[in-house]
Every structure is written in C-alpha cells, then in structure tokens.
Structure 1
Amino acid sequence: MRILHTSDWHIGRSFHGHATLDALRGVLDAIVAQVREHRVDVVVLAGDVFDSAAPSPACYTLLTDALSALSDAGARIVVTSGNHDSAARLGFQAALLREGIAVLTDPRGVGIPVTIDDADGPVHFYGIPYLEPAVVRATWEGTDLRSQAQTMAHAMTLVRADMAVRGGRSVAIAHCFAAGVEATPGVEREIRQGGLDVVPLSTFDGPDYVALGHIHGRSQLSERVRYAGAPLHYSFGEADKPRGSWLVDLGPDGLAAVEWLPLPLPRRLVTVRGTLDELLAHPRYAEHEDAWVCAQYTDATPQSDPMRRLLRRFPFCATVQHTPEGLPVADGLDYAERVRAAHDDVELFDAFLAHVRAGEGATDDERALIREVLDTRTLTEASR
C-alpha cells in the first residue's frame, strides 16, 4: 500500500496580513498531481486542517475541493483534527463528505481504526485527534490525564490493544510535540508547559508507521516516526525548511520504504539586511525583488516611513525590522540619571536622544541645530 503523509495545511492562515488561500490552493493541486503520478492509495492528513476554530466559508470550500480532488485522483483519505481546529466543526463536515473520506475528531473513537485493504491484506489506520487533557478526562474516567504525554500514552495503549486483536499492518496518526523535534519559534502554537507535555518517542511503539503533525518542518524521529511539516511557509522562521510530503510504502510485512516528495514554493522567502539606502538601491538585492521580503535595516536611528519606501522596490515586502548596528556601548545610566547629569538644555536634548537611541546621543549636526533652535527661542523671548 502506498500512503502520502501530509499535515498542517492551516487553511485560512495569513502571512503578515496577506491571504494565503490562492497560494495554498496551488500547492494542494500539486499534492493531487503527486497522488496521481505515484498512484497513492491513501492520503493521511495529520491535523491542523484549518488555522482557526471558526474558519471562513472560503476555507471550507477549499478543503472540500481539495479532498474531492484527492478522491477523484484515486486515493482514500484519513483526516484528524489538530490543536488549531475545532474538532466539532471539522467533525460535522465529515458526514457531508463522500465515501472514502474519513474525518476522525472524536476521542471516543481512539483505538477504532479505519481499515483499508490492499493485495496484501488489511491496513488499520488509527486516527488520534488532538487531545486536550482537561477535555478528555471525562471521556476516559479513572485515568490520570494531566499532561499531553499521559494523554497520548493512554491513546496509544488503546491503539496497541486493538492492534493485538486485529493483527495485520497499522498506521497511527497524531498531532503533538514528540521528543527529539524542535519547534519553529513563533510558529507552532504551544501545546505544552515546560517539558511536561513532550511526548516520548517510545509512546509510538507498535504501528508500522506513525504520521505526526504540528511541527511545520520536515522531521524524521525514527525510520517509522516522522513529521511532514506544512505545505506552505507561514513565517520567515520557516524559510529554510523544505516543503513536501512523505511517500510511504507498506509491504506485506510492514514498512518497506519512505521517500520525500518536495512541493513547489509559490514565492520564496528571504531576509535582506543593510542600511535603508542600501536596501533601496544596491544591485545585490535585485534578485529578491519578486520574493516575500523581511527587511532588516541597520541604520543607527529609525528612518521615516521605511515600509512605503521599501515597497517601491520589493512589492512583496511583508515586514520591516529596525536592527541597528554599531551602536556605542551603553553607559549603564537610566534616563533620570542622564537628565540630572545635563548642564544645559543642549545636553538635556542629548540625554533624551541617547535614551531613545540606546546610547547614541546627538550628532554634531544635530547638536548645532538644537543650539540654533534654542538660541532663536531665547532671542524671541527676550524681545517680548
């Protein structure tokens, strides 16, 4: 049996205020093409289908179109919910979908597989929706569930108990932080406190393959336990992470092969750095004019209207950061101490500028201008 492992579509997520639905639609069309090309039997979507618990109608349309296209390409589909999804809303849609598309969102169904047969016999797909300990305690009364790790361990115990009865090959699908993987800062919403909710890798012992979701970067924790990551880049912190899916082959005796299938990037993500004048004019940045740009300008002082100016050169400039270089070493004085140390009004202005510029006071030209303004004010007041 041939399986395509994908996850974290995050339908409806924006990128620095820009909609991503059209870009995601193009990438999902590429996944459909891969399903046809590689004759995939089953597509597994491991959670975070939507980006929010209340997606817009356009998000539902995109999901329905994508699942229908995958089905038309000849694949069965198994979907689970993630921590961004509303399990109730996603599960409600399940009843409206065509045969061959299973959407698993109810924790009461953990341990009950979707069974799909091939020439070598049955393969049992155990979908584990995102499990919030405080929510599922009522589902599994009498079980100590205080952390994600405990909850996932209980769910996998149910899975292994069913596997022991049914026999045959099996795939588990889950959405969590697993030990040995590193999150992308500022990207994946936390579902842990400290290290308590990191799920040990041994928790997933048993199935022939474990398809994980939640981490946006491709990751292999073992030969049989993997993250596929998101199909789109949703932050500049992900720019160096490849986009794609795992193509998994199950033979008659279990896992036979795993191959990475890359996906196209609708638009590159780059971070450019230099003074604002350099970013606006230097030829070395020309190759990035059609990319999503994070612009870091290094001028010592904040510049006027940098985003508007940068958009003239970089139409897809998404964010601007002031990251000054070469500032003087801070003298350790707070603002009140700077003010008390000033001997005249010029030094008072200098103290203010040093405070807001992380230690850099007025330049010679600025100091001359300040003195001129103060002198003019003094003459004006004296003439009254």
Structure 2
Amino acid sequence: MKILHTSDWHVGRTFHGRDLLPEQESVLGGLADTVSDERIDVVVVAGDLFDRAVPNAEAVAVCSRVLRRVREAGAQIVITPGNHDSAARLGFLGAFTEAGGLHLRTRIAELHEPVLFADDHGPVAVYGIPFLEPETARQALGVDAKGHGGVLTEAMRRIKEDLTARPGTRSVVLAHAFVTGGEPCESERTIAVGGVQDVSGAVFAGVDYVALGHLHGQQTLADHLRYSGSPVAYSFSEARHHKSVWLVDLDASGLAGVEQRSLPVPRALSTLNGALDDLLLDPDHEPVEDHFLSVTLTDRVRPLDALRRLQKRFPHAVHVEWRPEGGRTGELRFAERVRGRTDEQIACCFIEDVRGDVPGPRELDLLREAFAAAAREGES
C-alpha cells in the first residue's frame, strides 16, 4: 500500500498581508498528479487543513476543489484537525463524506477507531489523533493525565490496545504534536500549555508509521516517525526549506520504505541587506526581483516611505526593518536612559535614535523655544 503523507496546509493563510490562495491551490492541486503518477492509495493530512477555526468562503472553496481533485485521482483521504482547525466544524458531515472516500477523524473519544483499508497483504488500520488540548482531551478521555505527553500517551495506549485485537494488521497513526527533537520555525503557533509543549517520540512506539503534523519543516525523527512540513512557506525562516511530501510504502511486514517528493515553489523567499539607494540600483539583485522579500535597511538616517520605494523595483517586497550601520544594537531601557537627564537631553537622544544623527544648532533653538513655551503654559 502506498500512502502520501502531508500536513499543515493552512488554507486561507496570508503572507505579510499577501493573499496566498492562488499559490496554495496551485501547489496542493498538484498533489493529484502525484497520486496518479505514483499510484497512491491513501493521502493523509496530519492537521491544520485550514489556517483558522472559521475559514472564509474562499478558503473553503479552494480546499474543496483540491480534495476533489485528489479523490478523483484515485486516492482515499484521511484528515485529522490541528490546533488551527475547529474539530467540530471540520468533522461536520463526516459520516456522509466517508462514503465518498473522505475520512474525517475529529472526535477525541473515537481516536482508537481506525479507518480500515486493505491491499494484497491484508488490512491496514489508519488512526487519526486530533490535536489534543490537554484539558479538553483529559475530560474527553476520562483520565487524569497531565500535559500533552499525558494525553498523547493515553491516546496511544488506546490505539495499541485496539491493534492488539487486530492481529496481522499494519498501522499508521496521524498526530498533530511537537515531538522532542523536532525543529520549529517562526510560522507555527505555539501549543505550549503550562510551559510544556513537546512529547517524547517513544510515545509512538509500536506502530508501523507515524505521520506527524505541526512543524513546518520536513523532518525525520526516526524511520517511522516523520514530519511532512507545510507545502508552502509561511515565514522567512522557511526560506531554506525544501517543501515536499513523504511517500510511504507498506509491504507485508510493515514499513518497507519512505521516499521524498519535492513540491513546486510558487514564489521564492529571499532577504536583502543594505542602504536603500544601493538596493534600488545594484544590478546584482535582479535574480530576486520577483521573490517575496524581507529587507533590512542600513542607512544612517531612516529612509522615508521605504517599502513603497522598494516595491517599485521589487513588487513582492513585504517586510522592511531599519538597522542603521553602526547604530545601537542593545535593548533600550527607557527608565535607565532618561534618569538624571534634562528635557533637552532626552529630546536630543530621541532624535538621534530615530534619525541617526544629533540635532543641529537651529533645531536645538527650536527645541528650547518649545520647552520654554510649554513651561510658560504650565505656569499659567
């Protein structure tokens, strides 16, 4: 049996205010071609199908079209909700969609009930563990477990107990969690509760393959324990990621092998650093003119309207910050900076911090006139 492991679609997410729905539909819709070319039997999505608990109509429409294409390409689909999804909304009509090959495993109390498939070697049980918020999961499972590790341990105990009653059945588990050893990036929402968010990979021992979701970089924690990562980059910290999916092959004895398949990059991510005029004129930057750009400006004086000016050459520049060359890099503590200083000294320091140089004689005269006028008004 061939299984395609993907996760963290986040349909409806924006990138620094830019709509990504066309790019998401292009990349995700291409999964149907992989299903057809590789003769995939089952596609599993390990959480965060949508970016919001209540996705807008456009995001729902894109997701519906993508899932229909994948199903028409010949694969069954199993989905579990992540921490961005609403399990109740995602599971709506799940009993009806199952008849059409879309299996929504959203109920915590039913996580030990697998979707059963079969190939020439016998049955394959696919278990879906929804994202387990510890307090909600503890109540739903009826146990006194603590933290993510506690509720996931109980979830896996129930799954292994069910597997024991199915001798000769191979197993796949979908889980949306932060497993110890995984490397996070900037675009993931923390799932920490009480300061603890990660769980040991040992919790998932005893199954043939674990399809993990939540972390956006593709990672291998063990041969049978992997993150597929997000199919599209959602932060500049992912600029070096190679977005892809895992193709999992199960034979008669269990996990036979896992292969990577790269996904197209709808728009590359790049960063630039330098003075604004140099960035606008330097021909060496031509290769990134069509990339999403994060720009750090080093001008001594903060440039006016920098993003708009950059977008004339780099239309997809979406983020700008100013770090003047030779400027202060330490954390500024206001109370310490102003202690023992006059109003004039504080104003001069403020101008220097913002503009990068000290006020001139004429500016000092204007500041003194303003302070004197304020003092007179306070006395009247």
Task: Provide the TM-score with structure 1 as the length reference.
Answer: 0.89
Q: Secondary structure at the match of 2:310?
A: helix
- SS across alignment from 1:10: coil
Return closer, same or farther for 1:177/1:374 CA change in 2, 3 Å cut-off: closer
User: Aligned residue for 2:375?
Assistant: none
8 A Cα contact 1:335 1:355, kept in partner = no
Map 1:88-127 to 2 at 5 A.
Answer: 88-97=88-97, 99-127=100-128
Indicate conservation of the 8 Å contact 1:169/1:254, yes or no: yes
Give the alignment of 1:1-384 within 5 angstroms: 1-97=1-97, 99-141=100-142, 143-167=143-167, 168-185=169-186, 187-193=187-193, 196-327=196-327, 334-339=337-342, 350-356=348-354, 361-362=357-358, 367-370=360-363
Counterparts of 2:102 and 2:190, CA distance in 1: 29
| Distance in 2 (alpha carbons) for counterparts of 1:173 and 1:312 | 45
Deviation at 1:241, TM superposition (A): 1.1
CA distance in 1, matches of 2:121, 2:328: 70
Cα displacement string for residues 120-169 of structure 1 (whole angstroms, at most 9, x for unaligned residues): 1100001111111211222222x222311101010000010011110210
SS of residue paired to 1:138: helix
**Consecutive unaligned residues in structure 1, runs of 5 or more:** 378-384
Aligned-pair identity in percent equals 40
Give 3-state SS (helix, strand or coil) of 1:79's partner: strand
Measure the CA separation in 2 of the matches of 1:22 and 1:336.
53
Q: 1:128 to 1:328 in 2, by over 3 A?
A: closer
Query: Could you tell me which amino acid in structure 1 is paired with residue 111 of structure 2?
Result: V
- In structure 1, how many angstroms separate the alpha carbons of the residues matched to 2:231 and 2:308? 30
Alpha-carbon distance in 1 for matches of 2:32, 2:77 = 12
Contact 1:10 1:51 in 2 (8 A): yes
Distance in 2 (alpha carbons) for counterparts of 1:2 and 1:207: 16
CA distance in 1: counterparts of 2:350 and 2:129, whole angstroms = 57
Change (3 A) 1:277 1:86: same
How far the C-alpha of 1:95 sits from its partner, in A, is 4.1
What letter corresponds to residue 76 of structure 2 in structure 1?
R
Q: What per-residue deviation string (whole Å, max 9, x for no partner) do you get for residues 316-349 of structure 1?
A: 1111111222126889961354437x6xxxx776
Where 1:116 maps in the other structure, the secondary structure is strand
CA distance in 2, matches of 1:71, 1:351: 63
What SS does the aligned partner of 1:158 have? helix
Greater mean alpha carbon deviation, residues 68-77 or residues 89-98? 89-98
* 3-state DSSP of counterpart to 1:55: coil
Cα distance, 1:351 vs. partner?
A: 3.6
The answer to whether the Cα contact below 8 Å between 2:170 and 2:254 also exists between their aligned partners in 1 is yes
Aligned residues: 365
SS of the residue aligned with 2:184? coil
Distance 1:170 1:376, change over 3 A: closer
Ranges in structure 2 where 5+ consecutive residues have no aligned partner: 371-380
Change (3 A) 1:349 1:8: closer
> Structure 1 residues 327, 122: closer, same or farther in 2, change over 3 A?
same
8 Å CA contact 1:48, 1:214 repeated in 2: yes
Q: Compute the displacement of 1:106 (Å).
A: 0.4
- CA shift in 2, pair 1:289/1:96, >3 Å: farther
SS in 1 for 2:165: helix
Structure 2: distance between partners of 1:320 and 1:93: 44
- Which whole-Å CA distance do the structure 1 matches of 2:368 and 2:139 have between them? 76
Deviation of residue 71 (structure 1)?
Answer: 1.1
Q: TM-score, normalised by structure 2?
A: 0.90
Aligned partners of 2:95, 2:306: CA distance in 1, in Å?
A: 50
